[in-house]
Amino acid sequence: MAAIFLAVRRVPLWPVLATLLVLSGCALPPLADRPDSRSFPQSQTRETVLGQAITPKTDAHPGLSGIILLPDPYDAFAARALLAEAAEASLDVQYYIWRPDTTGTLMLYTLYRAAERGVRIRLLLDDNGIVGMDDILAALSQHPNIEIRLFNPFVVRNPKWLGYLTDFRRLNYRMHNKSLTADNQVTIIGGRNIADEYFGAAGGGLFADLDVLAIGPAVDDISRDFDRYWASNASWPARQILGEPEPGPDPLAELAELLKVSENSIASSVYARTLEDSAFLRKLLIGELTFSWAPVVMVSDDPAKVLGRNGNEDLLSQQLARALEDPERSITLVSPYFIPGDAGVELFRTLEERGIEVRVLTNSLEANDVAMVHASYSKYRKPLLRAGVELWEMRRLDDEAPKEQDLQTGMMGISVSSLHAKTFAVDGEILFVGSFNFDPRSIHLNTELGFVIKSPELARTLEREFDEQVRSSAYQVVLGEDGELRWLERQEHRTVTYSHEPGTGPLKRIMVFFWSLMPIESLL
């Protein structure tokens, strides 16, 4: 027996663990008994409070969607929470990241209260972005008006990352979409997930992050797309994955009390005041909100992308190419993670040779929260500059949010000082806003969602904000006379020139150089 014990001790742990995971049958349960549901037609929700407020406006603008940009983080939070409070028929909610922090807990309590009023809640979450949420979601899923599904879920729950050992090919594909739709009358899409750092980042104006609120035909498009994801073979009922809550007192009642206590906590006071002070819902209901009316094309990856069953023509990147007219004058592009690849560099070179101005804003190393992404992007800076692209890197934004918020710094998402908006304008005529980053992961691995908005008013808003803000909040990257990179920081009365990545130490720069040598670009 001692000999056997000693032999076992000599066996490497990870191969044994991986084998045990495979042999234990870590397979997803069958989907045969999954209930079916669809979004309510807009004609059925016209008599809701939201429907009565919105229908006269949409009837007056047939074929067009009403759009409001939401660059301010507090407005973006208030809009979501107040729409959930106003809903009477349904809330369809789809997110990549949802954290059990202040804003995440407040939003969960808002959904719970809506369910208590009889509103049907469908909550679709990517399973990679809900760390620490299993018990909460298991309890919420007990509510008769709340159904939760997990997209491309992990079977091993703790620690989740063990799943990558046996199923990396599947689990490397994630749902990056973000939307909240109330009564199929109003929707919010864009770059923000549900977590404190997305609703508390100060400074950076339009570029810290960006969502759009929409009414009209674009809402119906989002609802149909939500139905497609909800019914996909990658969406699993949370009960099948998370199991039942621990036995004991009513888990739903305990959760409701916990959420209520959280709502009244000191940490929630800033957001509670935001809701109290917001005039958003009142203005919406009495028709005082000012919308920009425009044709809107929704672009979205087929959820089958994560199963490897869709062709290139179904990719959002291809839909974007079809939806955009050939640029004639300019492209202004904002992307926190920007890895153009050789093909992207060649495209920009061709555009510049045709006399089309290309301007790009992305994160600097000091602001980027994913060093590996920056390492891959850094290889393309010189080729981009030689091609004629005007390149800017956002400086680390000051965190001016009130201290009582105790905001997190973004282990899985953005830091409060990062650029996170995903948007671009073409010729001052067309604006894109969505979840799509210009990197290989958004193109090939993650599913994405966005709006192509044919609105000179909104496109020129982006260009104007770029002109006004970028010089004061970003470094311009240029080539020096020696062909090496320089970073220009324009201060009030002078321009400071850096010969290496500003705001970083040698250790971080060495780490980025190391990552740039690794063949990992296709995974980023």
pLDDT greater than 90 at residue 418:
no
Does 467 qualify as catalytic in the annotation? no
- pLDDT tens-digit profile of 282-336? 899 888 899 999 999 999 999 999 887 766 777 898 888 887 778 999 999 999 9
- How far apart, in whole angstroms, are the C-alpha atoms of residue 452 and residue 455? 9
Does 277 qualify as catalytic in the annotation? no
**Fold match between domain 62-285 and domain 304-523:** yes
Does 183 qualify as catalytic in the annotation? yes
Residues 512/375, Cβ–Cβ less than 8 Å = yes
- 349, amino acid identity: R
- How far apart, in whole angstroms, are the C-alpha atoms of residue 492 and residue 237? 56
- SS3 at position 236: strand
CB-based contacts of 401, cutoff 8 Å, min separation 6? 200, 201, 202, 407, 416
If you average pLDDT over every residue of the chain, what do you get?
86
pLDDT of residue 414: 39
Does 427 qualify as catalytic in the annotation? yes
pLDDT of residue 387: 97
pTM: 0.89
**Higher pLDDT, residue 273 or 2:** 273
Does 260 qualify as catalytic in the annotation? no
Residues 123/111, Cβ–Cβ less than 8 Å = yes
pLDDT greater than 70 at residue 180:
yes
Q: Which of 209, 221, 302, 422 is catalytic?
A: 422
Task: Using the Cα atoms of residue 472, residue 212, residue 409 and residue 265 in order, give the sign of their dihedral.
Answer: positive
Query: Strand order in 65-70's β-sheet?
Result: 235-237, 146-151, 120-126, 90-95, 179-182, 186-190, 211-215, 65-70, 292-294
Burial pattern 204-216, b for ≥16 Cβ within 10 A else e, equals bbbbbbbbbbbbb
What percentage of the chain exceeds 90 in pLDDT?
Answer: 60
Going from N- to C-terminal start, the domains of the chain cover 62-285, 304-523
CATH code for the domain defined by 62-285: 3.30.870.10
- How far apart, in whole angstroms, are the C-alpha atoms of residue 368 and residue 134? 29
- How far apart, in whole angstroms, are the C-alpha atoms of residue 509 and residue 359? 25
Quick one: pLDDT band at residue 164, thresholds 50, 70, 90?
confident
Is the bond leading into 519 cis (omega within 30 degrees of zero)? no
pLDDT of residue 248: 65
Does 500 qualify as catalytic in the annotation? no
Packing angle, helices 13-23 and 163-171, rounded to 10: 60
Quick one: pLDDT band at residue 337, thresholds 50, 70, 90?
very high
- E strand or H helix that includes residue 348: helix 341-353
CATH top-level class of 304-523: alpha beta
Q: Which of 72, 92, 183, 211 is catalytic?
A: 183
- How far apart, in whole angstroms, are the C-alpha atoms of residue 355 and residue 378? 25
pLDDT of residue 479: 97
Q: Which of 178, 305, 374, 454 is catalytic?
A: 178
- SS3 at position 215: strand
Residues 80/199, Cβ–Cβ less than 8 Å = no
Q: Which of 211, 301, 427, 439 is catalytic?
A: 427
**Higher pLDDT, residue 332 or 250:** 332
Residue found by looking up tokens 């990992």 in the block:
520
- Across the range 505-510, mean pLDDT stands at 85
Residue found by looking up tokens 């311009």 in the block:
476
Is the bond leading into 41 cis (omega within 30 degrees of zero)? no
Task: Quote the tokens at residue 187.
Answer: 């929707």
- Across the range 466-482, mean pLDDT stands at 93
Q: Which of 176, 305, 374, 454 is catalytic?
A: 176
Instruction: Name 215's bridge partners.
Output: 66, 186
Instruction: Name 487's bridge partners.
Output: 477, 498
Residues 372/408, Cβ–Cβ less than 8 Å = no
Give the total residue count for the chain: 524
Q: Which of 225, 420, 439, 454 is catalytic?
A: 420
- How far apart, in whole angstroms, are the C-alpha atoms of residue 470 and residue 473? 5
Task: Using the Cα atoms of residue 274, residue 278, residue 280 and residue 285 in order, give the sign of their dihedral.
Answer: positive
- pLDDT tens-digit profile of 29-81? 888 788 899 999 999 999 999 999 999 999 999 999 999 999 989 899 999 99
